[in-house]
Structure 1
């Protein structure tokens, strides 16, 4: 590639002294780093990798917060409509839609491995095929999951909700079925765009959707008095606005060779793709801590793109170093947020309740919450590395064993059998997450990154790619940006 120099001793390429490239090209430049032989080299490479990570993580965090806020805003306005309406929206969002959101996001995460590694290897044409293949699988899954929406009322009755809340939430759930299919379209699109470092367009679309959602929620739910019907119309509309806007961006030709039109190849290798998607879904068994975890979600997406791109480009040292930078950065961010929480532990409970007993309990739980934030900032980064490297199946087993077979039962024993209450339940689940994080650390520490780069090449061939020259891949990428 013109403007690059080759160090034949260390086998890595480094851009020569040329003017800074545009942002879109900057993120797609790929080179393997030199061996880290001194603190100066470590510091230099740390800063370079941090810039690449934050270019991806910043907009990804913003996008996650905006999309997370759609449901939160709907709940906020539902609370002004009435207590029953608030309960109905809250239960549907957290139980029905929340469960399906996790499955769709997890299954869509299979594309982080395939699209990221294909992009790193210059196999741009495969990205669109992978996305279409994921659409087929996720929309088919939605047909099954829609039964949860249809039978939400008896399901909620069965798990102990009151008859009134079950009836209202059940009706609202049926109206929210279009949102389910928006999830199925949205998450593959996002992974498709993330793999190409086209993050800012998603952030702008998410911001526009949030503003529109806020205004229309006020108009339909409060001003026009549509209540839950208005909530369903606006929430469905906002999610489909995101999907359609992103599709318009893709179909307009801005993704170059990554989108070459609809293809029947989307229906090939579906069973293997299903297995990878299901393994990805099982990986997402994290304990969600509101907006704070959106930071870790953004870093999860960024490190997944970086690792998959570098492995696909046969740059094992760069992939490993990206992991190191992401873990350090996430730990520092988690530590900073935890310290702020502890410093204001006597003040922030007043934002949520005026009840003195509730405030006292929140203050008591703050140290555990702070520790949770640190762990839940690091664990998603390790999961993002796993997705980028294609270890979904292995990590799915780790998650099941550590979290569901160990952490959750321990929490139930501590909370109910030993009568420690909510602290016991939380402690058990947190212990499961800690064990899960430690196991992931061990897996990452023992990884042969040269072997992973070789496996990435084999994976690209398996899923329909062909071995082209790296120069052709870079040239194609430069043309599209």
Structure 2
């Protein structure tokens, strides 16, 4: 009888624990999706404007398609990687400040990121000004280099929007207000498609028409974001412009540089592989097909980036609050959700295969090459569902420097050499390059998983507190001096 009672009590305890776990997962999932879904929508729409522009240019000529692919995959990805990486310091600081209740500091962090990013971007403008010479130096085909150089000039006014769109999204995301970015991004895409059709096909403006449509839709988003922030919808976090933003820049630059290196090493990885594809026989087809696959991969990767953003916010918020257990639990839920979605897209891309290519090109040779790469594309999508969450964890905790070293070794010591060997010394060619890319990403994922398992979250809480206190005290003093 006593044994029966004990069994009933044990069974009741297990049911209660299971119910409690389900409730915790449900609550955490709601917090994650509140950040991840708007982030996914905004990133998919933002990248979608670039992909749609490529699609319109692809129907103008194959040379311009390859030229645009070079600019987007090499130059734009190069600049975007630096700015996205350096802006992730804002993501760390704003997320931890919001968790700690230091809302007024968020605007100061945002303005500091604008100063740092504007200076950085202006220094890097020669990448676009001397595009043709750069692509010639890299050994690209003359016609593709000339086309890419022309298109790169059109990208100069476009890239400045990154300074504001990237940082403002992180600023709003940290305070769980990024739903407005999602809606604005949808409107941006809704403007971009008909405007591109009008300028490219109806008015026959060709490449200039496609690029003007890209500029108009991109700066529409920036203008709308300014109206939202300055119009009083962020009363606690935006207190107006302040000269305090110019103070304490060095430690922010230091964190921004480590963030920039970490993200750049990830984004440039694909760019180097496209460059390797450019040296293959029939480079025009190789670059176009590889770029199409990378764009499809990157478009789906925007969904994973939503989980990266959610990981940043959830980890940063919980560390700012001093809750180490909640940060650790959030990572588990994030990984489970992201892997499930990655598996869905893995199957989806396997099913559609060749049909995906015709969205970008009418060339049968390019479409056949894309079909041949479809299995590797699907595998990349599956792997993409894991490591962005782990990278987001690192950004939220302010551990960008460690991950930068991991990325350097896994991508540039393992992935690229492996891809070059398989691409040039075997009959695999472009497929071999992609296998090398996957090898580097898988290695990085395994290392980050081990890092996540070994992290002392209580120590990370302590470090977050020290970081916030250091910036808070100095900035408060400076603000008081300005007021006087």
User: Corresponding residue for 1:203?
Assistant: 182
Structure 2: tracts of 5 or more residues without a match: 1-14, 271-293, 477-484
Q: Normalization by structure 2: what TM-score? A: 0.83
**Equivalent residue number for residue 107 of structure 1:** 86
1:444 aligns with 2:452: yes
SS at match of 2:125: helix
Give the alignment partner of residue 229 of structure 2, picking from 232, 243, 250.
250
- Give, in whole Å, the separation in 1 of the partners of 2:239 and 2:455: 36
The 5-angstrom pairing of residues 427-466 of structure 1 reads 427-464=435-472
Q: Residues 347, 217 of structure 1: CA spacing in aligned structure 2 closer, same or farther, 3 A cutoff?
A: closer
**How far apart, CA to CA, are the structure 2 residues paired with 1:211 and 1:294?**
18
Asked if residue 262 in structure 1 is aligned to residue 241 in structure 2, the reply is yes
Whole-Å separation in 1 of the counterparts to 2:208 and 2:358: 32
- 1:38 pairs, out of 17, 20, 27, with 17
Within the alignment, does 1:333 sit opposite 2:312 as a pair? no
- The 5-angstrom pairing of residues 332-351 of structure 1 reads 332-345=340-353
SS of equivalent residue, structure 2 residue 194:
helix
Residues 322-380 of structure 1, C-alpha deviations (whole Å, 9 max, x = no match)? 10000011111111221233345587667677888766655554333322212111000
Aligned to 2:10: none
Question: How far does the alpha carbon of each residue in 1:92-112 deviate from its partner, in whole angstroms, 9 at most, with x for none?
Answer: 222222221222112111111
Q: Which whole-Å CA distance do the structure 1 matches of 2:165 and 2:341 have between them?
A: 28
Matched, 1:320 2:328: yes
Q: Return the alpha-carbon distance in structure 2 between the equivalents of residues 171 and 361 of structure 1.
A: 27
Structure 1 CA distance for aligned equivalents of residues 235 and 424 of structure 2: 57
The structure with the greater share of residues assigned to helix is: 2
What TM-score do the two structures reach when normalised by structure 1? 0.84
How has the CA–CA distance of structure 1 residues 196 and 429 changed in structure 2, closer, same or farther, with 3 Å as cutoff? same
How far apart are 1:175 and its partner, in Å?
2.6
Q: What does residue range 100-179 of structure 1 map to in structure 2 within 5 Å?
A: 100-179=79-158
Which residue of 190, 193, 203 maps to 2:172? 193
Gaps of 5+ in 1: 1-35, 469-481
Structure 2 Cα separation of the partners of residues 128 and 247 of structure 1: 13
Pairwise CA distance, 1:59: 1.3
Q: Name the CA distance, whole Å, in 2 between partners of 1:343 and 1:175.
A: 37
Aligned ranges 1:409-420 → 2 under 5 Å: 409-420=417-428
Q: For the structure 1 residues 251 and 336, does the alpha-carbon distance in structure 2 shift closer, same or farther, using more than 3 Å as the test?
A: same
Q: Is the 8 A contact 1:125 1:260 kept in 2?
A: yes
Give the count of matched residue pairs. 433
Q: Deviations over 1:285-315 (max 9, x none)?
A: 0555232111101111111111111110111
Shift of 1:225: 3.0
1:282 aligns with 2:290: no
Contact 1:81 1:222 in 2 (8 A): no
Residues 37, 409 of structure 1: CA spacing in aligned structure 2 closer, same or farther, 3 A cutoff? farther
**Corresponding residue to 2:411 among 391, 403, 411:** 403
Please tell me whether the aligned partners of residues 146 and 180 of structure 1 are also in contact (alpha carbons under 8 angstroms): no
Q: Which moved more, 1:342-351 or 1:292-301?
A: 342-351
Provide the secondary structure at the position in 2 that maps to 1:109: helix
Please state how far the C-alpha of 1:146 moved relative to its aligned partner: 0.7
